[in-house]
Amino acid sequence: METIRAVATFPYIAPGNLAAFKEIAATMLEVIKKQESILRYDLFFSVDNTQCVAVEEFTSPAGILEHVAKNRALLDQLAALGGDVTGSVFPMSQEGEALEVIRSSWNSKMHIHFAGK
């Protein structure tokens, strides 16, 4: 299994948008629980609740594409409330069609695995 990790940031949530953002995020998390390709999906808010960071792990790069396709409407709503999503992707390998789609069409920084345990 070639897992992949990602970090997605919603850069600014206005105070008036926070309750709606959290409600939509909670709805999306319920959907995510049913997706086997998502191994981990944690949301973190900044101390002042103006940013949200999603720390994600998928079974494969295709899992990221599946997540975005299945949750497009919810992700669009979150982006409208929290700003355009920026992100970083951490694949264990640099090969594959799904990874090429991510690399060529998303506004994400791609990182190359060097070493680890």
Confidence of residue 105 (pLDDT cuts 50, 70, 90): confident
pTM listed for this prediction: 0.91
Q: Residue 1: is its pLDDT beyond 80?
A: no
Helices 97-105 + 61-70 axis angle, to 10: 60
Q: Give the rounded percent of residues in the chain with a pLDDT score beyond 70.
A: 99
Provide the residue ranges of all domains of the chain, joining segments of one domain with +: 4-110
As its CATH architecture, domain 4-110 has 2-Layer Sandwich (3.30)
Angle between helices 61-70 and 72-82 (to 10 degrees): 80
pLDDT tops 80 at residue 4: yes
